[in-house]
Amino acid sequence: MTQNTHPPGPQSHALFERAQRVMPGGVNSPARTFDAVGGSPVFMEYAQGPWIHDVDGKAYIDYVGSFGPMLLGHADPTTVAAVQGQTARGLSFGAPTGLEVELAELICDMVASIESVRMVNSGTEAATTAVRLARGATGRNKILKFAGNYHGHVDSLLVSAGSGALTLGIPGSPGVPEAVVADTLVATYNDLESVAAAFAEHGDDIAAIMVEPVAGNMNCVPPVDGFLAGLRDICDRYAAVLIFDEVMTGFRVHPGGAQAYYGITPDVTALGKIVGGGMPVGAIGGRESIMRSLAPAGPVYQAGTLSGHPLGMAAGLATLRQIHENDIHGAIQPNLTRLLSGLEARAAAAGVAFTTQHVGAMFGMFFTDHERITRFDEVAASDTQAFARFFHALLANGVYIAPSAFEAGFISCTHDADVIDRTLTAAESAFAAVAEGR
């Protein structure tokens, strides 16, 4: 595949050589490696709005957005000013602050099912806590998840996971003892019958269903009609907890999350990504009656030295306030439509089998002749060679997308019509490269 790859600049190349000597695989998170598309990663230096700049001075239009947080674009001035202002007041106290209360109040305002919130430091921590809370509150052990859904690198959920685990073809992971995943059941996303079958067998032992309400770690796959409502019904019937992992979808598909977009109320919600405005923040929230099981109000233990970190709270508040007060999603919609219909038209003109899907401000691109993708096996069957060619041709032409056919795309409110049109110009030659099989 090397002849198809766009070579990184000399500074990126040199940094990656050094990185590989002192860091496993040269990166701090597997989703950043170029292993799935060939070549070696581009090292970034700074970013502004829709643009990200590498260490060799090349600029790219960015559709990674730090894998989700950057709904307002990079270096949003209000968010940056809020962090800068807080920095001078002390970095961390290990004692409560007003900022935590304000962000918790805002989350409760914005997300209808959330009455009470615990701040943590990542989406992984939020998912870990959600599972422990559900088990503690129900006194049951089994968790049902979906193949291709990703909930961070939580031991018990690292089974048939998406994102980097999917890209790298790791089915679970060495280091996760069988005993730890013995209570994890795996069902098929968008297939209620597979869920009903699991409940028919284990219903009284299932503490929770854990689901990405829009699957965003196996590319972007929206729920089919009735899927989320069906999960709600099953949980009600068996007194199981419905956990929406909205780490990616929260504030991205709608200011009130996927639960507002689809009108389904989960019991517990995991948040991350946008909630920290680009800082490492996660949160879990839900009804007060279930959240009060968490220590110190209740017996389910969870803690964090840096939880509710002042800089993270300041960034999250500055970002969420803007999403709360402005119609960010409405402003993004015409530009996202312009992007996706433009991509499909150019693919068709080049004779490349290609389709797109989107919900709110997240989208997916599929090299496939299916018109609509609803199943994990359909995603897995898409043409990853074509994706790799497309990826490298875009990179050469100044457009940065995630280096895997299994990641979603993210747009911000700073991606205006001009930026979209530049993207489409780059895409035209990228589709030609795919068609030529270069």
Catalytic residue among 245, 261, 383, 400: 245
> Please, are residues 134 and 122 in contact by the beta-carbon 8 Å criterion?
no
Q: Considering the rule CB under 6 A, would residue 357 count as an interface residue with ligand PLP?
A: no
Q: Considering the rule CB under 6 A, would residue 216 count as an interface residue with ligand PLP?
A: yes
Nearest Cα residue to 285 out of 259, 253, 312: 259
Instruction: State the binding string over 223-262 for ligand PLP (x if CB under 6 A, else -).
Output: ----------------------x-xx--------------
Instruction: State the binding string over 176-215 for ligand PLP (x if CB under 6 A, else -).
Output: ------------------------------------x---
Residues 6+ apart with CB under 8 A from 53: 44, 45, 46, 47, 59, 60
Active site residue 273: yes
Q: Considering the rule CB under 6 A, would residue 268 count as an interface residue with ligand PLP?
A: no
Q: With CB under 6 A, what is the number of residues at the site for ligand PLP? A: 15
Active site residue 150: yes
Catalytic residue among 191, 273, 383, 400: 273
| Alpha helices by DSSP H, 263-309 | 288-291
> Please, are residues 220 and 411 in contact by the beta-carbon 8 Å criterion?
no
Q: Considering the rule CB under 6 A, would residue 309 count as an interface residue with ligand PLP?
A: no
What single-letter amino acid sits at 403? P
> Please, are residues 241 and 88 in contact by the beta-carbon 8 Å criterion?
no
Query: Out of 40, 124, 156, 412, which residue is the one contacting ligand PLP (CB under 6 A)?
Result: 124
Q: Considering the rule CB under 6 A, would residue 62 count as an interface residue with ligand PLP?
A: no
Is the omega angle on the peptide bond into residue 296 within 30 degrees of 0, that is, cis? Answer: yes
Query: Out of 151, 252, 309, 375, which residue is the one contacting ligand PLP (CB under 6 A)?
Result: 151
Burial 174-195 (b: 16+ CB within 10 A, else e): eebeeebbebbbbbbbbbbebb
Burial 227-255 (b: 16+ CB within 10 A, else e): bbebbbebbeebebbbbbbbbbbbbbbbb
Closest CB 434 distance from ligand PLP, rounded Å: 27
What single-letter amino acid sits at 77? P
Active site residue 225: no
Q: Considering the rule CB under 6 A, would residue 410 count as an interface residue with ligand PLP?
A: no
Q: Considering the rule CB under 6 A, would residue 152 count as an interface residue with ligand PLP?
A: yes
Catalytic residue among 150, 189, 261, 262: 150
Pick 114 or 127: Cβ nearer ligand PLP:
127
> What amino acid positions are annotated as catalytic residues?
150, 245, 273
Residues that bind ligand PLP (CB under 6 A): 122-124, 127, 150-152, 212, 216-217, 245, 247-248, 272, 282
